[in-house]
Structure 1
């Protein structure tokens, strides 16, 4: 049923397997993400800065560097319908909201701990941020004030809303996914997803699936309506740190400390392509309308192996460009 589509993708990426490297930071890049219109690519780094790049055809150029955080920028996420707004979570115990039309942050929200995970509800109304002490803070984006805080008794890893913003998902250190109603945050289900720590979670743009990556080196694909596991991707050998669905939900990229980024066909798990890397990969993000994958690894400087390269990369350009 899917054989032709799989072969078509495999052929496409044979001729679109070029990657380009973009310097942006003086230290390792923790997080990358595209704006909803696909024009901008943001990266957040251990060097406390956020870098915005602009995509034009097959070239990407640096537009602006946002400074202000007093600690590492551990995760970033864009507003899902406003291409100018970006939020960042930092170890400096703040969340910042940035507008690409301005040179400084438009809001600074103090929080109780060192923040490591951030997610913006698809309806744009709320930002949730998780910290190292497993406290999840919900911020009202109209007032930029904290609405509520929830302290959990287990290790909270990545957090996310579903595409309709009425369910909130937590991945935890026991390999479970906690599904809560939103906004009342009542527990609806606990899925025993993995034997190892559940590290990352991602929703497919079409609303059919979500996927989780785990310390057991597996990626599991879940039917969002049935809450049933449909597929397990098994090509990694190391804990899966980061995953991303393509804009049409047909491809799933996953990365770890393995020296490849795996691109699989969502419905069957078949391998479409892989990207060779030289170091552990922290973050991957598909473009919102093209088959371009942004990613960042723990690369070292070519001339000084003690220094981080601070680069981000984009793969999927035509191989003859």
Structure 2
């Protein structure tokens, strides 16, 4: 039995998503820590929440309060399993310690923050705001070290796994690749004919994927910087992407009422996760085929109220050895 058939059988046997209450409003971001013991979420309700994972179950750990506006994106330290950072519209970045359950630092920025990422060496946090300004924060000093103002729409930012290149998806369908740390243009890739929304690197360092407003996902060879294939099963702009721990499976989601789960090697659909509303954040577990995601879900008794739930699909430890 081949990989795709094996995975199809696996997900067919474990096709129900488990749901957990997390927030009082819409969840904007979910992310696993580096060792997969914790999951964190950020919400429109101005809070972040951490969970502890016990096999296939989440236990709510703590609610982190301190932001004055929506928590739009978060990410964990690449090597420290207890530290994560949040970006908010309140013009601050907060670094949190899950052990002490409080803010380790608050860094003021110049605008409403919408995207954030942590450098692979853990020394720098990059945060982008609505005015296309990207600030690079020194993690030890808790201060903005440098800023770069871009003249194009910056939608998402990320370092490559080596940490020597910095990527920006733009509103013109162009992927901008800069050298790091000097932040000089290296490549401009005409990736899609429409706005580029999200970017994700596979954990093995071989590939990256880009999602666009044209409802396409493109898979790229990082060494050759060439497009290997596209995934075109969704009908709405691609909002979020995530590679599995081994780089063999790619999840993509949008306003479609399914999450597409595909083979990176062949492009074939492995399975799809049915959802009841648009999905704006997905994250594979760093050691197993366990997908966390959050939808724009509504309370069945009050359609004007977002529920703020997180869902898990799949099982841990089934393919991670």
In the alignment, which of 277, 280, 285 is matched to residue 278 of structure 2? 280
Q: How high is the TM-score relative to the length of structure 1? A: 0.97
| 1:102 corresponds to | 100
| 2:257 corresponds to | 259
Partners of 2:225 and 2:315 in 1: CA distance: 36
The answer to whether structure 1 residue 34 and structure 2 residue 32 are counterparts is yes
Partners of 1:49 and 1:11 in 2: CA distance: 38
| 2:319 corresponds to | none
| 1:161 corresponds to | 159
| 2:230 corresponds to | 232
Partners of 2:121 and 2:159 in 1: CA distance: 10
Q: CA deviation at 1:14?
A: 0.9
SS of aligned partner of 1:11: helix
Pairing 1:153-232 to 2, within 5 Å after superposition: 153-232=151-230
Q: For structure 1, which runs of at least 5 residues remain unmatched after alignment?
A: none
Q: CA deviation at 1:6?
A: 1.0
SS of aligned partner of 2:208: strand
SS of aligned partner of 1:164: coil
| 1:137 corresponds to | 135
Partners of 2:140 and 2:101 in 1: CA distance: 21
Q: CA deviation at 1:166?
A: 0.6
| 2:245 corresponds to | 247
CA contact (8 A) 1:18 1:317 kept: no
SS of aligned partner of 2:287: coil
Partners of 1:82 and 1:62 in 2: CA distance: 20
Partners of 1:69 and 1:307 in 2: CA distance: 21
Structure 1: 4+ residue segments shifted above 4 A? none
Partners of 2:232 and 2:56 in 1: CA distance: 32
Partners of 2:57 and 2:25 in 1: CA distance: 23
Deviations 1:66-110 (A, max 9, x none): 000000000000011100000000000000000101121100000
SS of aligned partner of 1:307: strand
Pairing 1:86-97 to 2, within 5 Å after superposition: 86-97=84-95
CA contact (8 A) 2:123 2:138 kept: yes
